[in-house]
Structure 1
Amino acid sequence: MAPALLAAIDLAKDYSNSSQGLTTQSLSFVGNVFARVTPETFDLALDHLQRSVGQYATYFGAASLISIDHVVSLLDAGAAKIFVTRPQLEELKALNIDQDRIVLALPGNTRQEIINAIAGTQVDVYSHQVQDTGLVEAWLKEYGTDRPDIFVSFASPAIDDVLRISKLAAVPVIPAEVLTVDATKEPGLLSVARLVMADATSDRPDGLFTTLVTDERGVALGLVYSSEESVAESLRTGRGVYQSRKRGLWYKGESSGDVQELVSLSLDCDNDCLRFVVRQKGRGFCHLATPTCFGQYTGLSKLQKTLESRKASAPQGSYTARLFSDPQLLRAKILEEATELCDAKTKSEVAFEAADLFYFALTKCIAEGVSLEDVERNLDAKSIKVKRRRGDAKPAFVSSQPASTNGAANGTSTDTAVKEAASIPKSKEDPAGVRNGRIAMKRYITTKESPDTILAALQRPSQRSSDQIIGICRPIIEAVKSRGDAAVLEYTHRFEKATSLTSAVLRAPFPESLMKLDPATAKAIDISFENIRKFHAAQKEDKPLVVETMPGVVCSRFARPIERVGLYVPGGTAVLPSTALMLGVPAMVAGCKKIVLASPPRPDGSITPEIVYAAHKVGAESIVLAGGAQAVAAMAYGTESVSKVDKILGPGNQFVTAAKMIVSNDTNAGVSIDMPAGPSEVLVVADAFANPAFVASDLLSQAEHGVDSQVILIAIGLSEAQLAAIEDELHAQANALPRVEIVRGAIDHSITLVVDTLEEGMRLSNLYAPEHLILQVENAESVVPYVQNAGSVFIGKWTPESVGDYSAGVNHSLPTYGYAKQYSGVNLGSYIKHITSAHLTKEGLANVGGAVMELARVEELEAHRRAVSIRLGVS
């Protein structure tokens, strides 16, 4: 749509404080300017475009420019239209430049010159320095209304001539110096208001003009009325001023304070409606104190207002405020959400992920003082560029597989990585774990290798950067902390694909229908339950510890159960009711008042009946239907449905471990954890008395947990034939397993260490500190004294690690990744706390009081000293 007029400016002139004519601010109200550009002022033109972006559109007279490259550069930099000669026009056509952005400058002003110039062209035309307005008026009438836009400048602009041209829908080009927005103050200049309203029409009896008021994004704020007088006043004051049908001029916000800054004004396509673009201040446009007369903002506009409010004054605990104060977190979330959007497949997933990305991207904008209006102005500017790059991605973002900021090693999506199923099977074509055509571990003979080589061989599989994992988990935790059940469900829908779930919690008593088991399975759980109960019950302390440290001074220690515990039961690639038993039974035995389980649901929203049955047997209060960091956060902080706990126990992938570490370090959570954890692992010590088939089966029982698991064989004095026998069994048994592709992933970073002596083997075992240690050696019980670091030990060839995982009675929730050097596995002590007490008689205080007072004096804690001295009556 053509502008009402163009204010012609001098590129070399500063209009910021013009003493006569339009100022820089007034130019923006008019909305369009014209500038003649020469080779000497070309750089000024580019600078002007950069400085004025979003303020007004600039039209350039480029007829005096010789280089067509300069013309194209101006269009590329954002010029609205270029006024060119006929030869320039033909060159631009050859370059496929959009003809809507080209205006043909007429070579003369006679009727015949005009007819000859415009013949056969559909571009807009410009008649320069017109002297005979009547002639132009005549050919405009002859030309009719079904034509391109006509731009006209005047040798001597007079208000009547300009108005006659305007009323014929031509666009007058008038020097800014002869235009004014305050005709009362500058009566000798041409009134912008009169020119803007020259072609306006009204069908109202009172002659008022319907006026639509919008914000800079084009969102309608309300409908009002204007007159030429109110338009003139609005231009003069730079505010939203309208014509009240009852009260005359209406200065919006004069009484309420909800004023409007004028951005621009224009007429619609048929000149019967004005549009005011404003920046609304205060509560909003409507008298009801809403942003618009049509209600609240929605979508991105609403989000922008919320973010601006959070930046100015965020409520305590606001996640958005945290994003503003933690640029690294915000960066990580933008990268994460961009990847999730790339990985989204369905329409709903794309919409969901795009909304997340918009939120974090707009947070970045608001943090840097950038508004949606700024962004949209840049989009508009980019849309009219004529010089196009290929648009290829930068090398860092090019990959043969979809990029991922937090997927598993195979380039999996965020959802796959964050959810509990961390083990991604190897494809049949992947050579992982295969050596010389066989599934085999790498072998080291320690006498032929340096200590550094052996130490390097014992390193666990590399895990993802802890900073990266924590960066992924923190926003999830904060979301659950601030939004409770809604956030838990949102992440469960996303990561577990359990979109049918409407509640995050299954409460006891659990329906019988959810515990329908094969009788053999129920019996196996019952046997395991009882053995685990017996072993942990035996760990109970019969009575408090009482010691009289000196006459009259009795110290004691007594145990109390932790009142509320949260038990994390992994899901993913395997159903793990055994973990529910290992965690739940000792909690029950300890007497914990509240037991909360958490486990990822299946895609249909259900939980496996084996886990529900185990939860029922241990007396769990509820089952949180969630996995990963969101489940940990729900138990740590509590939600509307999830009970807050005092301690969280249970294994999980790297994200679960990171989440446990985060909440345990948050003093506001007030929650502890059992131990850090990593992928499952086993170390088998075998000598010549070991059964090769048994050894191979023990190694594979852990390798099938996941591709990030690791198994180690320490072979003591075995011959080549004996080693080959174990390797043959390993290959044959592995190929018979349904999870062979997972096994190969684990075997790929698993090793055999051939040593000469038991002492050397146990030294290496203690250095490694395995989660599971299996002793398949002669007189295995006699080797137990050598064990310094291990989660749990399995003694002799008839004790496979599997019995510890399920039914023997020992606990299978154990420290991994070398943490067996510092941590115990889960036991009854994990669910109790010890409280100490001291009980002194008068004699006892007299006996110990002197020492207490002296140490208090040394530490300069006088109140401590006086608490004793007052009782003993000494100064």
Structure 2
Amino acid sequence: MPPALLASIDLANNTAPSRGLDAQALSFIGKVFVRVTPDTVDQTLAHLQQSVGRYANYLGVASLSSIDDVVSLLDAGAAKVFVTRQQLDQLLSLQIDQNRLVLALPGNTKEEIIEAIGGTQVDVYSHQVTDIELVEAWLKEYGTDRPEVFVSFATPDLDSVLRISKLSAIPILPAPWLTVDAQKEASLLSVGKLLMANATSDRPDGLFSTIVTDERGVALGLVYSSEESVAESLRTGRGVYQSRKRGLWYKGESSGDVQELVSISLDCDNDCLRFVVRQKGRGFCHLATPTCFGGYTGLSRLQQTLQSRKASAPTGSYTARLFNDPQLLRAKILEEATELCDATSKEHVAFEAADLLYFALTKCVASGVSLEDVERNLDAKSIKVKRRKGDAKPAFVKPPASTNGATNDSLEKEVVKEAASIPKTKDDPAGLQNGRIFMKRYITARETPQSIQAVLQRPSQRSSDKIIAICQPIIESVKSRGDAAVLEYTHKFEKATSLTSPVLKAPFHESLMQLAPETIKAIDISFENIRKFHAAQKEDKPLVVETMPGVVCSRFSRPIERVGLYVPGGTAVLPSTALMLGVPALVAGCKKIVLASPPRADGSITPEIVYAAHKVGAEAIVLAGGAQAVAALAYGTESISKVDKILGPGNQFVTAAKMIVSNDTNAGVSIDMPAGPSEVLVVADASANPAFVASDLLSQAEHGVDSQVILIAVGLSETQLTAIEDELHAQANALPRVDIVRGAIEHSITLVVDTIEEGMRLSNQYAPEHLILQVENSESIVDYVENAGSVFIGQWTPESVGDYSAGVNHSLPTFGYAKQYSGVNLGSYIKHITSSNLTKEGLRNVGGAVMELARVEELEAHRRAVSLRLGFL
């Protein structure tokens, strides 16, 4: 489809425009025009590389004398080049596809135009037009059955541009002259009006049918648009449509399932719109499915599954091994590629190709690469004009000879078995009993204490030796090379190659915090509740105790001066974690608050996290993840402040790095607590609602296959137990992460006990991260709690409120560490200092005891420090 308009940008001017379209708004149009000069060829090549997938680039190359430069630009991904007649003839002689060539007309008179376009079928470009009537006249004479016509203006105005657009010419307009917010920038040209200039509707209400797709082109659903809704969508950068009953419809305003706008275009007949969006939340459909036509299938479904598993990569599981062991993943890709090459029958080829695609996509997801990225590269490769011979590399033509006499075929293959806790197919029995999702049930009266202790064991965790070996050189590199190393690892692991600085400094620009009003409201409510609860933990005054006459001891608190807060990122959006870590630091009065979070591939941080960082007064956001982010916080770099304590969750690399730096005396940094998989223990009696109990168990089971959920059923009958189990099965099957749930359920259990006292004894023995009390008189049962990260009291208190908005902190000890550690609280950000203040009388009273103990320990200087003073008295 031809573009509705082209926004021209100037690469020679690197200053940000004070008005007009920014980079995000350019992507909404989907196509830009760049005038290339001999001095900006290299800059344009870099621009083409960086803008793959954001928008198509149309290049004006008439000033280039080297045809090789033009070919290089086409090879690098230019969609079309605007050329002179001489350049056109040269490129056609090189067999360049004429659909990628646009002839720049040498003049604007009717005669010059007719002479120039005679005998050619390529698109044409009339630039710096001053006589609109003349252009209208020759466009009408040229007709509609013609190549595309591009027009730029000496002085563009909306009336002239619309007149040209309505004749199906494509206006080229400077980006600073265009706006997606006509109310705010009334003097500029409205992109919405230009986009809809040729739109037609045969509906009585004048609305336009609108197909909504994801970036892969998968249809999410059918809606309707109006000129007003299109303008509003462009202004907000969100999916905004026209409801036939309620007016403007901001998708996700009530559900939270918002859409980031990628681009808008018209179909070939100009009577149907296509919105390309990035869908957030549960999905497009009101039934919480990705599309209105059901769930994703094929590669899209596989990608969704792998991305969710990466977000909660279960330590010790096969998925975690693939994500975290590059050599294993490499071996599996090579193995499956070989098996595909050896396959012969149609069925066998399909089977082996599916396996290879699975491991190849795992490699992509592990590297932060999406199917959309892959398909954009395929599209870019399809328009290359320079082709290499294409022969296989020598190493793949003939297997290299073995140095020890063994052939490749005789080498033993690594046998990889997927953990029983990870359902590989629908037929895998993990988490199932008789075809139902089911937690193993134990009646404690029929078991020994030893057997109950055994079933309460958490899923085993792999040794961290290999992870530490990976993290150590990364930490050393950051320690010695600073910013350069952080950037290098961010480019490598996050694919954010456009980043030139590893840190985003406050104050954060408003454009980085563009959020839906309902998202801002949710963050603000959560912020205030968390602030209130942690502010209440402040000590009113120092503790002062006179231990004996004249001896006064005191303890007072001071905030930790500099704290680093790690917020996991990548595919995840975790403003709740930024709030849970940042608000207590703000309340405590920490002088420096530095966030660290991995950026997206375009180098940006999700606006939710930037807004949370702004709310808590963060000094900066480190644009890095993993061990490199932890090292930057621990040691500091040229642009990243060193901190005194690092807090926050993360994957096994983050955890290992935190342990390494906390044990390095040169770093002088502490950490919050050891980390492990998420868990919940629910105590329920006959008063509990089975649906509530099942939902609480599943809210943690969906975290990861290494999560564990425990139900302690107090005095429940078979009927009551079955009711909970029925709810668990039904609710689990309705979840998008049902395979992960099944993995967690495989090592989760129900303990049936006779009394609440026995139930709480077992709970304290287990020491859960989250403890939910769905029992009668639940408030009184809190007295029984000895070990737990956080307690949720009564049937109206789901664990989810603690994760987000109630006010308590969700950064909690797991894996039984609730016996020794508290969750993050105000005390995590303060240190206590003690003081002693003695009078003469006080020294006389206590001095004898001090001197005697110093003598016993043979520390004579200690003894004399007292005896000398007493001598003066």
Query: What's the TM-score once normalised by structure 1's chain length?
Result: 0.53
Counterpart residue number, 2:703? 705
Structure 1 distance, partners of 2:526, 2:535, is 14
1:630 aligns with 2:628: yes
Q: Aligned residue for 1:457?
A: 455
Indicate how the Cα distance of structure 1 residues 706 and 341 shifts in structure 2: closer, same or farther if over 3 A, else same. closer
- Aligned partner of 1:516 in structure 2 is 514
For residue 644 of structure 2, the aligned residue among 643, 646, 661 is 646
In the superposition, relative to structure 1, how do residues 429 and 490 fare at CA in structure 2: closer, same or farther (>3 Å)? farther
Gap change, CA 1:387 and 1:539, over 3 Å in 2: closer
Deviation at 1:475, TM superposition (A): 2.5
Cα distance change, pair 393–873 in 1 and its aligned pair in 2 (3 A)? farther
Cα separation, partners in 2 of 1:615 and 1:410, compared to 1, 3 Å: farther
Is 2:500 aligned against 1:498?
no
Of 752, 755, 760 in structure 1, the residue corresponding to residue 753 of structure 2 is 755
Q: Measured at CA, do residues 386 and 553 of structure 1 come closer, stay the same or move farther in structure 2, by a change above 3 Å?
A: closer
**Residue 475 and residue 799 in structure 1: after superposition, are their counterparts in 2 closer, same or farther (change >3 A)?**
same
Deviation at 1:468, TM superposition (A): 2.9
* CA displacement, residues 412-438 of structure 1 (integer Å, 9 cap, x when unaligned): xxxxxxxxxxx9985545432222112
2:549 to 545, 548, 551: 551
Aligned residue in 2 for 1:589: 587
One-letter code aligned to 1:657: T
d(CA) in 2 for partners of 1:729, 1:440:
10
The one-character-per-residue Cα deviations of 1:817-874 (angstroms, maximum 9, x if unpaired) are 1000000001100000000011111121111111111111111111111111111117
C-alpha distance in 2, partners of 1:477/1:498? 20
Match of 1:391 in 2: 408
1:720: how far off? 1.1
Q: Which residue number corresponds to residue 604 of structure 1?
A: 602
Preserved CA contact (<8 Å) 2:597 2:622: yes
User: Deviations for 1:153-174, whole angstroms, at most 9, x for unmatched residues?
Assistant: xxxxxxxxxxxxxxxxxxxxxx
Tell whether the 8 Å contact from 1:653 to 1:679 is kept in structure 2 after alignment.
Answer: no
C-alpha separation between the residues in 2 aligned to 1:385 and 1:660?
A: 42
Instruction: Report the CA distance between 1:393 and its aligned residue.
Output: 6.1
The letter for the 1-side match of 2:735 is L
Q: What are the ranges of 5 or more consecutive residues in structure 1 without an aligned counterpart?
A: 1-331, 354-381, 402-408, 412-422
CA distance in 2, matches of 1:663, 1:385: 43
* Alignment correspondent of 2:789: 791
- Cα deviations by residue, 1:741-797 (Å, 9 ceiling, x for unpaired): 222222222111111111111111111100000000000011111100000000000
Q: Map 1:70-149 to 2 at 5 A.
A: none
Question: Aligned partners of 1:855 and 1:569: how far apart in 2?
Answer: 49
Opposite residue 798 of structure 2, the aligned amino acid is: P
Is 1:731 the counterpart of 2:747? The answer is: no
SS in 2 for 1:548: strand
Q: Distance in 2 between matches of 1:383 and 1:594?
A: 57
Distance 1:566 1:597 in 2: 6
Residue 602 of structure 1 and its aligned partner are, at CA, apart by: 2.2
Q: Judge conservation of contact 1:685–1:776 (CA < 8 Å) in 2.
A: yes
Q: Secondary structure at the match of 2:724?
A: helix
Contact 1:652 1:678 in 2 (8 A): no
**CA 1:432–1:337 in structure 2 vs 1: closer, same or farther (change >3 Å)?**
closer
User: Which secondary structure state, in structure 2, belongs to the residue aligned with residue 753 of structure 1?
Assistant: strand
Structure 1 residue 670, shift from structure 2 partner: 0.5
| Structure 2 residue aligned with 1:178 | none
Shift of 1:813: 0.6
**Separation (CA, whole Å) in 2 of partners of 1:436 and 1:587:** 50
Correspondence for 2:678: 680
CA deviation after TM superposition for structure 1 residue 709, in Å: 1.3
**CA–CA distance in structure 1, aligned partners of residues 673 and 516 of structure 2:** 34
CA spacing shift, 1:541–1:743, aligned 2, 3 Å: same
Amino acid at match of 1:443: R
Q: Secondary structure at the match of 1:555?
A: strand
* C-alpha distance 490-853 of structure 1, shift in aligned 2 (>3 A): same
Q: How many Å separate the matches in 2 of 1:336 and 1:690?
A: 44
Provide the residue aligned with 1:525 in structure 2. 523
Contact 1:770–1:820 under 8 Å retained in 2: yes
Q: Return the alpha-carbon distance in structure 2 between the equivalents of residues 387 and 525 of structure 1.
A: 63
Kindly state the Cα deviation for residue 679 of structure 1 after the two structures are TM-superposed.
1.1
Q: Distance in 2 between the 1:837 and 1:588 partners?
A: 26
SS for the counterpart of 2:832 is strand
- Using structure 2 for the length normalisation, give the TM-score: 0.53
Instruction: Give the aligned residue type for 1:474.
Output: Q
Q: 1:816 offset after TM fit, Å?
A: 0.4
**How far apart are the structure 2 equivalents of 1:759 and 1:647?**
39
Instruction: Compute the displacement of 1:650 (Å).
Output: 1.1
Instruction: Label 1:505 to 1:384 Cα distance change in 2 as closer, same or farther (>3 A).
Output: closer
RMSD, matched Cα: 2.9
Match of 2:692 among 673, 691, 694: 694
Residue 860 of structure 1: SS of its match in structure 2?
A: coil
Counterpart amino acid of 1:670? G
Give the aligned residue type for 2:554: S
Alpha-carbon distance in 1 for matches of 2:854, 2:738: 66
Q: Is the 8 A contact 1:712 1:751 kept in 2?
A: yes
Paired residues of 2:402 and 2:408 also in contact (CA < 8 A): no
Using the alignment, how far apart are the partners of 1:808 and 1:545 within structure 2?
A: 30
Give the deviation of 1:385 after TM superposition: 9.5
Q: Residue 20 of structure 2 corresponds to which residue in structure 1?
A: none
CA distance in 2 between counterparts of 1:499 and 1:544 reads 51
Distance 1:385 1:569, change over 3 A: closer
Question: Partner of 1:474: helix, strand, or coil?
Answer: helix
Name the count of aligned residue pairs: 491
Further displaced range: 629-638 or 819-828: 629-638
> Are the structure 2 counterparts of residues 484 and 559 from structure 1 closer, same or farther at C-alpha, using a change threshold of 3 Å?
same
- CA contact 2:685–2:774 (8 Å) conserved in 1: yes
* 3-state SS of paired residue (1:805): helix
C-alpha separation between the residues in 1 aligned to 2:416 and 2:794? 49
Distance 1:790 1:593, change over 3 A: same
Q: Give identity over the alignment, percent.
A: 82
Shift of 1:341: 6.2
**Shift, 1:672, TM fit:** 0.5
Given candidates 813, 816, 827, the residue that maps to 1:815 is 813
Alpha-carbon deviation of 1:550? 1.3
Structure 2 distance, partners of 1:385, 1:460, is 44
- Correspondence 1:431 to 2:393: no
Which secondary structure state, in structure 2, belongs to the residue aligned with residue 770 of structure 1?
A: coil
| Letter aligned with residue 556 of structure 1 | S
Cα distance between partner residues in 1 of 2:423 and 2:828: 34
Change in CA separation of 1:394 and 1:383 when aligned onto 2, cut-off 3 Å: closer
| Correspondence for 2:151 | none
**Separation in 2, partners of 1:517, 1:727:** 40
The letter of the residue matching 1:438 is R
Alignment of structure 1 residues 326-365 onto 2, 5 Å? none
Other-structure match for 1:765: 763
Does the residue aligned with 1:614 lie in a helix, a strand or coil? helix
- 1:194-213 alpha-carbon deviations (Å, 9 max, x no partner): xxxxxxxxxxxxxxxxxxxx
Change (3 A) 1:387 1:541: closer
Q: Deviations over 1:530-574 (max 9, x none)?
A: 011011001101111111111111111110000000111123564
Aligned to 1:720: 718
Alignment partners' CA distance in 1, 2:679 and 2:845: 54
Tell whether 2:821 aligns with 1:805: no
Task: Work out which of the two has the higher radius of gyration on C-alpha atoms and give 1 or 2.
Answer: 1
Moved more, 631-640 or 668-677: 631-640
Q: Of the candidates 732, 738, 742, which is equivalent to residue 740 of structure 2? A: 742
Distance 1:784 1:529 in 2: 27
Deviation digits for residues 475-534 of structure 1 (CA, Å, limit 9, x no counterpart): 222222223223323333333333333322111111111111111111011011001101
